[in-house]
Structure 1
């Protein structure tokens, strides 16, 4: 049996509630529930049970310091056809180091390299036929939003449970301390 897995930094509940309050005014947006807010470090995809133990061992061997980060500056993916609305993340150096460590852990367990460029963000909504003008207005409306300094004390391994027609459920199955 395989599990759909990813490593991510969780978003603190108070900050998740702040982000939830921003979620309005964008037609065609399927807003993400606040319990799904996270910063993906590495998407592993479908991982066989036998690889899970190895992946867990590799992730638990990552030794990096705690760091602070901040959320702010919304944008979207899909310039020709917008598909994802997100909130940006500052602290690119520590996040990039953690992403690289997760990538190396994946490779040591036999998983293929992630071909995507790492762009740290929190997904706010998936979009369907959303006018770019409405996205620009959302970005402008949220320009002043900043989460304030957030402390990354650990990252987690999540299992994704798909649900037909609804947001997936993301279940943390292991936490890995930083510092």
Structure 2
């Protein structure tokens, strides 16, 4: 059986609820619920059971101390046709180390990883027919936004339903405490 897998940090409920309170002013946005907000560390794509087991072992071997994070600013992906509205994540060296470690664990067992540069963010909405001026207005309004800090003390291996944008298209497959 193939699982569509990714590694991610969960966004604490209190922070996610603060983010959902900001979700307004962009007609055509398909807003994400607090329950699915996360920071993707690495996307692995469709992986068979044997490779998933090896990936789990590799991710469990990652060593990274807990660290503080905060949400900061807003932006979007898709220049010609914006498709995702996001909130940024304040840079932290441990976040980059953790993302790189997840990618290395996948590469070691032959799972290809995305070639795009790591851009930590929380997806706020998928965009359909959204006017660019309304999108840019949202981004300007939240350009100086900064959430309270929280301690990232674990990450998860999630599976996702392909194309799943329902209430909660993700399932936790494994949990990895940061130590």
| Short-chain TM bin | over 0.9
Residues of 2 paired with 1:168 and 1:149: CA distance?
Answer: 25
Distance 1:156 1:129, change over 3 A: same
Aligned to 2:149: 149
Distance 1:73 1:96, change over 3 A: same
Give 1:20-169 correspondences, 5 Å limit: 20-162=20-162, 166=166, 169=169
Distance 1:44 1:20, change over 3 A: same
CA RMSD of aligned residues (A): 1.5
Residues of 2 paired with 1:63 and 1:55: CA distance?
Answer: 15
Distance 1:26 1:53, change over 3 A: same
- For structure 1, list consecutive stretches of 5 or more residues without a partner in the other structure: none
Q: Point out the more displaced range, 142-151 or 105-114.
A: 142-151
TM-score by length of 2: 0.94
Encode CA deviations 1:84-139: one digit per residue, 9 max, x unaligned: 00000013421111111000000112101321111000000011121111011111
Residues of 2 paired with 1:100 and 1:143: CA distance?
Answer: 27
Count of residues in Structure 1 that have an aligned counterpart in Structure 2: 179
Residues of 1 paired with 2:144 and 2:114: CA distance?
Answer: 33
Encode CA deviations 1:23-72: one digit per residue, 9 max, x unaligned: 11101111111111000000011010111110000000000111111102
Residues of 1 paired with 2:164 and 2:115: CA distance?
Answer: 27
Contact 1:71–1:146, Cα closer than 8 Å, also in 2 = yes
Aligned to 2:171: 171
TM-score by length of 1: 0.94
Structure with bigger strand share is: 1
What is the DSSP-based 3-state SS (H/G/I as helix, E as strand, rest coil) of the residue aligned with 1:47?
strand
Distance 1:6 1:164, change over 3 A: closer
What is the DSSP-based 3-state SS (H/G/I as helix, E as strand, rest coil) of the residue aligned with 1:119?
coil
